[in-house]
Amino acid sequence: MLGCVKSSIGLFVPMRKFKLFYLFTNHIDAWGLALGIAIVVAYLHEQLTWRAFILAGVIAFGYWLAFAMNDYFDRQVDQLDSQKARRNFFCMVALTPKQQFFYPSLLALAWLIIAGGLGMWGWRGWLALLVCLTISWSYSAPPIRLKSRAGLDLLTHVGFVETFPYLLMLFLLKIAPNQTDGLLLCILLVASACAQLEQQIRDYDSEVQVERNLTTRIGKSWAVSLLKWLSITYLALGWIGFGGGWLPTWLLPLASLSVPVFIWRLFLRIDGSYPTYLPKTRPYWLTILILITGFSYLFILILLK
């Protein structure tokens, strides 16, 4: 589960009948990973309390909201690409004047729920809420739109995708970080960078027409090379961490779930394609299998604690 790539895949359900169901299950891999990371921090530091589980749930809900906002602000750009449009809920529905009021109101209500959850943690929670609001809005919404600023797009992912739930748990639970935390944060930092680069390479042909992100700036071939080196770095950090005793052995089954993803990236060709004997994108069922396996393992660990 640690380091699994973010993708933009939601559950395949009939849109006409289950519109809101799709909205709430879309990007399940992203907010599911955030939930898993938060629970890992609580387990690692023996903070398995009801307040910690509530906090982990609030963080996961916040990640769902952040990705929903990203889809909302990306809807006009994503409509230019049929594949991206199929992954964006707001491209699948006709936003009538009534719906243009309803969906932003729904997202605003979600922020109020998150504010209530983080407010339990006093000034630390309110500070976290301010950071979350600022980043979630500025990443996708104009006029700032960090995702369209080469370099800042990658740095935002590095700091606020897979690393941020870890940092939030440490900060709000008042946990003093140790060497294991430092190494895990480095691993998650590299994983976040890989996820962003992989997505930009996948969407290069459409985004080069309208976006100005890192990959469109440096070119697909350089982005592929950077992705491969970062993937090797991720695998090396894991090998050093477990081989040198820096990481607890109970984390090994979780970490191993992400290994095939990073090895698969090493087969990426310089033009951004994969050999014919490999699928162009990872199957959706593999994402779900990784999540189910990871959470099942965490559940067993917690029961045996």
pLDDT for 93-142, tens place per residue? 776 776 777 778 888 898 999 999 999 999 999 999 999 999 999 999 98
For residue 6, the model assigns a pLDDT of 43
Say if residue 244's pLDDT is above 80. Answer: yes
Res 108: pLDDT:
87
DSSP output for 30-87 = HHHHHHHHHHHHHHHTT--SHHHHHHHHHHHHHHHHHHHHHHHHHHHHHTTSHHHHHH
Q: What is the spatial distance between Cα 41 and Cα 175, in angstroms, rounded to a whole number?
A: 10
What mean pLDDT is predicted for residues 18-37?
81
Q: What are phi and psi of 96, to 5 degrees?
A: -70, 165
Pick 27 or 124 by higher pLDDT.
124
pLDDT surpassing 60 at residue 290: yes
Q: What is the mean pLDDT of residues 249-268?
A: 94
Amino acid at 183: L
Mean pLDDT across the stretch 270-277? 88
What percentage of residues in the chain have a pLDDT greater than 70? 91
Instruction: Name the token pair of 217.
Output: 């700036």
- Integer Cα distance of 126 and 149 in angstroms: 28
What pLDDT shows up at residue 149? 92
pTM > 0.85: yes or no: yes
**How much is the pLDDT for 16?**
44
Averaged pLDDT score across all residues of the chain: 88
- Single-letter amino acid, residue 130: L
Q: Would you state the pLDDT for residue 95?
A: 67
pLDDT in the model for residue 207: 83
CA distance 289 to 296: 10
The pLDDT, as a whole number, for residue 222 is: 96
Query: What end-to-end distance do the CA atoms of the chain give, in Å?
Result: 20
d(CA 234, CA 216): 24
Per-residue pLDDT tens digits for 51-102: 999 999 999 999 999 998 888 888 888 887 777 777 788 777 776 776 777 7
CA dist., res. 102 & res. 39, Å (int): 33
